[in-house]
Amino acid sequence: MNFSKKNHEHSKNNVVNVSKKVILSIAVIAAMVLTSCKNDSKQETETTQTDQTEVVNDMAMAEVSFGVRGNCGMCKETIEKAANSVEGVSVATWDVDKKIIAISFDDTKTDPMAFHDAIAASGYDTEKVSGNEEAYNNLPGCCKYDHDMMMNQ
């Protein structure tokens, strides 16, 4: 009787130890992901800004800018990719601090509502269209921005 009780307690302790380890590794991974998000955003801002100057000088383009919510460099990638997927867009640059996207485009091929729709479909709120909920739920944890976040800062 006594013997079996001891055994039981022992295995219970093991379970506690294992789950502590699991929680610790999740915390470490989460910390790594957060750090990489921050690094991304700085590098990307620099590269995209150079691109913009080159293209705008080449052609006469219409330009528009509007508020888009998001957190980090990975958000920037997704938001700009969505805007660039619209035909007629030459440059799209989202500012992680101001929560604004600036888009240069050929206005004979598209209009700004197409940008709002494309960005919202990728999961991000614009000042006119709310982000698609399913796409938002599939975003990485660090990209799950606050829906009450200020835009156009």
Q: How far is the CB of 80 from Cu ion (least distance, A)?
A: 12
Note whether 74 binds Cu ion by CB under 5 A.
yes
**Could you tell me the two tokens for 26?**
């999740």
Determine if 75 is a binding residue for Cu ion (CB under 5 A): yes
Which is closer to Cu ion, CB of 23 or CB of 30?
Answer: 30
**Contact assessment for residue 40 and residue 76, using Cβ atoms and an 8 Å cutoff:** yes
Residue 47 Cβ, how far from Cu ion at the closest point, in Å?
Answer: 17
Tell me the residue number closest to Cu ion, measured at CB.
143
Per CB under 5 A, 82 contacts Cu ion: no
E strands, the chain, where?
62-67, 89-95, 100-105
Residues in the chain: 153
Nearer to Cu ion, 7 or 39 (CB): 39
Q: Is 71 one of the binding residues for Cu ion (CB under 5 A)?
A: yes
Q: For residues 136 and 143, give the distance between their C-alpha atoms in angstroms, rounded to a whole number.
A: 9
Contact set for Cu ion, span 106-145 (CB under 5 A) = 143
Give whichever of 17 and 141 is closer to Cu ion, judged by the CB atom. Answer: 141
Could you give the C-alpha distances from 18 to 14, 28, 40, 69, in angstroms and in order?
A: 6, 15, 33, 39
Amino acid at 112: P
Residues that bind Cu ion (CB under 5 A): 71-72, 74-75, 143
